[in-house]
Structure 1
């Protein structure tokens, strides 16, 4: 079993934006692509079961079961422009991004150190998971289509907003229960102070990831600028 600061480490859970992946890729490539395609894509999707499910989720979210299709689409677009982490929007964005990946409109960015260490940790048997506000489908697409190839074989599972908000300690308790691990065995890597605080409140070990452009973190928070700076040791036995 690997050790972090001499304590057993059961799994590493990773954020995406600003942690494994340059936030600029999401903001400057994925979000604009999804926003530009949203209205036409949703219009085509509406007759399908997936489309009807998204419409139902939008209506439930706004508390109006009679909201028209056009108003649902307008609401989705408003959420997208405001970067709201709303589950039906995230599901729809994932479908649109799938289209973009399939048509080779782009490949996912991943930091060199993140790609190298994700592969190395996996090789050494460390269970790796993702917890991101993007849908699980979108997470899988991102890691399946990176600039260094398909990294999905390195991950044991994924969590998104269906588990709960990333700034809610209960979400991290749920993940620990789902993984069958004590919070103390889990390490969360993120660039978001609110997420790190929530995970720490749930009993997890946390480490802030400071990428170029990330604001400084509080001095009491363990911070790294490179995945190789994590004090993880492996038994060679």
Structure 2
């Protein structure tokens, strides 16, 4: 157990923190991979149009750029687990449609949803910061095994509206939107680089280590460590 000052705001990472990274890799990634070509051919969708331009720029594509080249770039990033904004944008669109169609239901560790409900009932503001797009986040929390969790959350941040998760400046941007002092914000993540970046902006941090998950062996450095949200209590 760890005992911490009660925060005004809790900011949650998703993969490896509330939910298994392997579910994302084994279920959601293949689902999006099979649909990249279809979504890239859509006309009139501003998110798709913006993502096309970002793929061309980030992948350094020149000349005639067809769907095959765009898909190849996306698949390369996916294979390398790169947190590229256009990849996350398109995955978010695809996953949102999959959740809406009933093809997908999100995964949560057994302790995650009870903790989220308890913190919400305690009057703590809950926010998400994930490399997954805001569309992906809302689809994920809106289609949990226990139904729609979105009413318990007051904000959603991703790499497009906040910045990269391993930079302190991204956490400063989120803090400015939240409008509370850094010491009143508590961030949960499984990645030590993200925890370090949040702490560099003055946030409180908790490292989440889930046995068997992708980054378990990397540890969480010198941040307070838990394996379950049930291990957190307030002063």
Instruction: Give TM-score scaled by structure 1 length.
Output: 0.89
Whether 1:205 aligns to 2:204 is yes
Per the TM alignment, residue 217 of structure 1 is displaced from its structure 2 partner at its CA by 2.6
Q: Tell me, which stretches of 5 or more residues in structure 2 are unaligned? A: none
Native 8 Å contact 1:107 1:146 kept in 2: yes
Whether 1:60 aligns to 2:54 is no
Give SS of 1:58's match: helix
* Within-5 A mapping of 1:1-237: 5=3, 7=5, 9-43=7-41, 45-46=42-43, 48-64=45-61, 66=63, 68-70=65-67, 71-162=69-160, 163-213=162-212, 214-215=216-217, 217=219, 220-233=222-235
Instruction: Give TM-score scaled by structure 2 length.
Output: 0.90
Per the TM alignment, residue 105 of structure 1 is displaced from its structure 2 partner at its CA by 1.4
Per the TM alignment, residue 66 of structure 1 is displaced from its structure 2 partner at its CA by 4.8
Native 8 Å contact 2:208 2:220 kept in 1: no
RMSD (Å), alpha carbons: 2.0
Native 8 Å contact 1:59 1:65 kept in 2: yes
Stretch of structure 1 that moved more, 203-212 or 67-76: 67-76
Structure 1 131/184 Cα, relative in aligned 2: closer, same or farther at 3 Å? Answer: same
Equivalent-residue separation in structure 2 for 1:67 and 1:222 (angstroms)? 51
Q: Deviations over 1:169-214 (max 9, x none)?
A: 1111111111111111110001111111111111111011111222
- Size of the aligned set, in residue pairs, is 229
